[in-house]
């Protein structure tokens, strides 16, 4: 069992580290990465000008707001002594994403200024515009929540799945797959887009429950195979497992999975990298980011997986402290682990409406 703060923190911080590592090389070709950073590619965090930290992107921003939505849903249920349903949890996550949208300079139709509350939205650095995905911005900008039954579009980009790790940390085995899908379907309506999110959240759940990495992946696959339209996701993950079993991790094998812009590829690349270096957090992340494609997202998901698996102690301190919002991510990890405190300060941080 890894249901301890060091693994919650490892998961959220690990994702942020992978995100910040990959951001400078996102969209760069592999050849250009080698040309700029040397024969091994980018090998460490690149600090923003006049700072001592590397910048996160919308991947981490939205992950933090997913965590906030989960905390606020749990707090509302505990405060009012009611059972929190899947529908309520999804709605709470949707409202959290609308608060994230506000940080990107856009207001939600029909919301009053008082709706933009809680501590997360007040963190100045989260109001930085980091080229968020067009799908997330445009769908949330409508103020309408997409669902699996009523999809808002036909997108299977990775923007729906790369943000759901917090769901895997706290949701039960019975509902984690479904909530992961529902959270992604808010903005991404293609089955591959939300099924990959369900798989990702479920994988994190089994890791936190104490399963070995490959065992957790196989359990996740077993559930996914029972879902309609899951073939793209399951086949991509099966390919990643087979490639990892071959040994000798390399870019040439990774690129046969894809570039990571769509959800099934992002998940499969992360699984390939995590299985290739299951006990070496940094090496797994360097494999995950040095390729053609969506390097910040593949880095973030790999970091979430191995951060949850290995925990804080296996991540270099210079990486943990070298990312933007390092202290805030640590605090949010603690709050996600706690879920609720009966105090005025807590309710101010996480309003329960």
Quick: pLDDT tens for 310-342.
999 999 999 999 999 999 999 999 999 999 999
CA 23 vs CA 12, 153, 222, 299: distances in Å: 17, 26, 33, 9
Please, where are the H alpha helices in the chain?
A: 5-22, 30-37, 58-80, 86-103, 134-141, 165-170, 176-185, 191-208, 213-224, 231-245, 251-255, 263-276, 281-289, 295-310, 317-320, 326-338, 344-349
Q: Cβ neighbours of residue 173 under 8 Å, at least 6 residues apart?
A: 205, 209
Confidence at residue 112, expressed as pLDDT on a 0 to 100 scale: 85
Token output for 82: 């009611």
Confidence at residue 7, expressed as pLDDT on a 0 to 100 scale: 98
Q: Determine contact, residues 200/164, Cβ cutoff 8 Å.
A: yes
Q: Cβ neighbours of residue 47 under 8 Å, at least 6 residues apart?
A: 53, 54, 322
Q: Determine contact, residues 164/266, Cβ cutoff 8 Å.
A: no
Distance of CA 238 to the CA centre of its chain: 21
Which residues are paired to 323 by β-bridges? 54
pLDDT at 110 exceeding the cut of 90:
no
Distance of CA 65 to the CA centre of its chain: 10
- The pLDDT tens digits of the residues spanning 1-43 come to 899 999 999 999 999 999 999 999 999 999 999 999 999 999 9
Residue 111 pLDDT level (bands cut at 50, 70, 90): confident
- The pLDDT tens digits of the residues spanning 188-242 come to 999 999 999 999 999 999 999 999 999 999 999 999 999 999 999 999 999 999 9
User: What is the mean predicted confidence (pLDDT) over 73-92?
Assistant: 95
Record the pTM. 0.97
> What is the CATH classification number for the domain harbouring 108?
1.10.4080.10
Token output for 76: 């509302």
Confidence at residue 108, expressed as pLDDT on a 0 to 100 scale: 82
- The pLDDT tens digits of the residues spanning 150-199 come to 999 999 999 999 999 999 999 999 999 999 999 999 999 999 999 999 99
- 3-state SS class at 54: strand
- The pLDDT tens digits of the residues spanning 116-141 come to 999 999 999 999 999 899 999 999 99
Task: Report percent pLDDT > 90 for the chain.
Answer: 95
pLDDT at 305 exceeding the cut of 90:
yes
Domain that holds residue 152: 5-42+51-349
Which residues are paired to 54 by β-bridges? 323
Q: How far apart are CA 155 and CA 191, in angstroms?
A: 9
Q: How far apart are CA 175 and CA 159, in angstroms?
A: 21
Distance of CA 235 to the CA centre of its chain: 21
Number of domain units in the chain: 1
């Amino acid at each position: 069992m890894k249901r301890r703060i060091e693994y919650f923190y490892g998961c959220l911080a690990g994702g942020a580290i992978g995100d910040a590592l990959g951001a400078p090389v996102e969209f760069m070709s592999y050849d250009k990465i080698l040309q700029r950073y040397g024969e091994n590619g980018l090998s460490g965090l690149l600090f923003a000008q006049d700072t001592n930290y590397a910048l996160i992107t919308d991947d981490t921003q939205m992950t933090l707001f997913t965590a906030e939505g989960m905390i606020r849903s749990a707090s509302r249920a505990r405060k009012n002594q009611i059972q929190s349903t899947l529908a309520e949890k999804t709605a709470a996550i949707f409202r959290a994403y609308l608060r994230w949208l506000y940080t990107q300079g856009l207001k939600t139709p029909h919301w009053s200024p008082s709706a933009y509350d809680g501590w997360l939205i007040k963190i100045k650095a989260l109001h930085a515009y980091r080229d968020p995905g067009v799908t997330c911005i445009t769908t949330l900008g409508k103020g309408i929540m997409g669902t699996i039954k009523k999809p808002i579009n036909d997108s299977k980009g990775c923007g729906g799945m790369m943000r759901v790790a917090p769901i895997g940390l706290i949701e039960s085995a019975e509902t984690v797959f479904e909530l992961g899908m529902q959270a992604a379907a808010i903005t991404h309506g293609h089955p591959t887009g939300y099924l990959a999110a369900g798989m990702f959240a479920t994988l994190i759940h089994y890791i936190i429950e104490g399963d070995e990495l490959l065992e957790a992946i196989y359990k996740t696959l077993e559930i996914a195979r029972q879902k309609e339209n899951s073939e793209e996701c399951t086949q991509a993950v099966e390919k990643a497992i087979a490639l990892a079993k071959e040994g000798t991790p390399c870019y040439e094998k990774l690129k046969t999975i894809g570039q990571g812009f769509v959800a099934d590829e992002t998940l499969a690349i992360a699984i390939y990298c995590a299985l290739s270096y299951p006990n070496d957090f940094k090496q797994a992340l360097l494999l995950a980011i040095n390729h053609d494609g969506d390097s910040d997202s593949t880095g973030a998901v790999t970091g979430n997986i191995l951060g949850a698996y290995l925990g804080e102690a296996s991540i270099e301190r210079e990486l943990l402290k070298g990312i933007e919002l390092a202290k805030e991510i640590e605090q949010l990890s603690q709050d996600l682990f706690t879920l609720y405190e009966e105090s005025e300060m807590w309710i101010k941080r996480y309003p329960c409406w």
